[in-house]
Amino acid sequence: MKRALKTLTACLALTLGGLSVAPSVAQAGDVEVAEHRRLSEEMNRLASRGAWQGVDSRFIELMELEKKGEVLTYEEWFLGAQAAQNLGKMAACRKRLEGAIAQDPKDEATSWLAAIDASYGPVNLRSLDKDSDAVLTAKAMPFVPDQRMAIEYAQSKLAGGRAFRGLLPAGSYTLSSGSVSQEFTVAAGPGEAMQVKITPGSDGSTGALAYVGPRLDVGAAYTVGNTPNIDGVVQGPPRFAGGGARVGVGVELGLKRGFGLIAQVGYHNLFSPSDRPDVVGVPNKADSLHLGYGMVGPSLRFGDLWLHAGGVLAFGVANASGVANADAVSSQCPYGGEEEVCAWVSGVEEENREYFPWTTSLTTAGFQAGLGYALFDLGEGLQGGIGLSGGLLSDSSRTYPWGQLSFTVGPASSRN
């Protein structure tokens, strides 16, 4: 008897529990049906306005409802395919057409699916170079609008995430990242996807050269010809200085990401008008310096900040006035002195020796270093910015320090 009562009690409990659950299940189904109806109506309203992004978003929500048991109609699948086509998402378009055909194999859907398979092929594109943009280029951009949109959609996905899996129109393409590029051809048909992958080199670069291009530095410079570093009588001018221009042109090679070499040749000058009073019968010339130079050295890139250093070899001519170590010269070589060592200055009166003209050939060597900051892009693969550099040249008797503020053009390196 007790066992029978227990069995009856259990049955009553299960019955009551089922009754309490049943209304909630029915209500959940009603909510999904209502949501399905709302989304479908919004899709049609947005499609009438050509708002295909909105149509696509609502269809994706409908697909979430499908996972909960809702069945999408042929019209909804077909409209979702139209939205995907207008956004360039041809893989999604094809999949949605298959969904429409599963509901009703109408000619408009089956013929459209066949046309896609006759014009598009599957691809899987990706770049493992995290510091460079992945760029997809079509050898010949198609005229058909949906094919152009499919390529543009793939380009946007690669630019945003360095990967694209989907459909592309049949044809020839190039996938590039940094200085590495790979050509490939897409064949039409629903076969195996074309696999294209860009991999950085093991040295941190993306190929033989991480970047390469012209290097230009042009701007104003200030240069000093220091007092000779030899005591006593020196046959040469005293310290002179002045402003001028410095122009360097050459090439910059990125051996790997963030590190390269610069090689330049250029022209460097100085001009300083005389501030001495005119004296009758005595030339009063300005100081000037004209150098041709060559420079080679390493460069470093930290994003838009550029650093460089290098050795410099320069040849030229200096024009200056005066006598270096004038007191020592006047003491050892007074005006009219007969000593052989003083022959070069013996004909110049002591009070006019600051006007003594010099034209001296120079052979100098030294170094330079500088930094720049890239401010803007200049076409394909080039950037422009400002630079600040300085250096030191030296010959057998004196040093020539200089500084420059320049406009700088260089190749764009791989950027984050």
CATH code (residue 10): 1.25.40.10
Has residue 346 been placed in a domain? no
Shared domain for 99 and 129, answered yes or no, is no
Has residue 345 been placed in a domain? no
Shared domain for 108 and 129, answered yes or no, is no
Give the pLDDT confidence score for residue 206 in this predicted structure: 46
Q: Which residues of 275-293 are buried (b: 16+ CB within 10 A; e: fewer)?
A: eeeeeeebeebebbbbbeb
Q: Calculate the average pLDDT of the chain.
A: 87
Count of structural domains within the chain: 3
Has residue 11 been placed in a domain? yes
Shared domain for 247 and 377, answered yes or no, is yes
Has residue 344 been placed in a domain? no
Highest mean predicted confidence (pLDDT) among 126-140, 323-337, 345-359: 126-140
Q: What is the pLDDT of residues 380-406, one digit of tens each?
A: 789 999 999 999 999 988 999 999 999
Shared domain for 229 and 375, answered yes or no, is yes
Shared domain for 130 and 113, answered yes or no, is no
Q: Which residues does residue 360 pair with via DSSP β-bridges, in sequence order?
A: 318
Domain residues for the domain of 66 are 2-118
What is the band of 169 on the pLDDT scale with cuts at 50, 70, 90? very high
For residues 323-342, average pLDDT: 77
Shared domain for 103 and 162, answered yes or no, is no
pLDDT at 340 over 80: no
Shared domain for 147 and 45, answered yes or no, is no
Give the pLDDT confidence score for residue 292 in this predicted structure: 98
Q: Which residues does residue 169 pair with via DSSP β-bridges, in sequence order?
A: 120
Domain finish residue from 71, 89, 118: 118
pLDDT at 242 over 80: yes
Q: What is the pLDDT of residues 182-224, one digit of tens each?
A: 999 999 999 889 999 887 654 444 445 678 899 999 999 999 9
CB 354 within 8 A of CB 323: yes
Shared domain for 11 and 65, answered yes or no, is yes
Give the pLDDT confidence score for residue 12 in this predicted structure: 42
Shared domain for 168 and 219, answered yes or no, is no
Question: How much of the chain, in percent, has pLDDT values that exceed 90?
Answer: 62
pLDDT at 2 over 60: no
Has residue 65 been placed in a domain? yes
Shared domain for 256 and 364, answered yes or no, is yes
Q: What is the pLDDT of residues 280-314, one digit of tens each?
A: 888 889 999 999 999 999 999 988 899 999 999 99
Has residue 126 been placed in a domain? yes
DSSP for 231-256, written as a single string: -S--SS---EEEEEEEEEEEEEEEEE
Has residue 341 been placed in a domain? no
Shared domain for 254 and 290, answered yes or no, is yes
Give the pLDDT confidence score for residue 24 in this predicted structure: 38
Domain finish residue from 94, 118, 142: 118
Has residue 340 been placed in a domain? no
Domain finish residue from 69, 85, 118: 118
Shared domain for 102 and 215, answered yes or no, is no
For residues 375-381, average pLDDT: 84
CB 362 within 8 A of CB 314: yes
Give the pLDDT confidence score for residue 336 in this predicted structure: 64
DSSP for 90-150, written as a single string: HHHHHHHHHHHHHH---HHHHHHHHHHHHHEEEEEEEE--TTS-EEEEESS--SSHHHHHH
Give the pLDDT confidence score for residue 337 in this predicted structure: 64
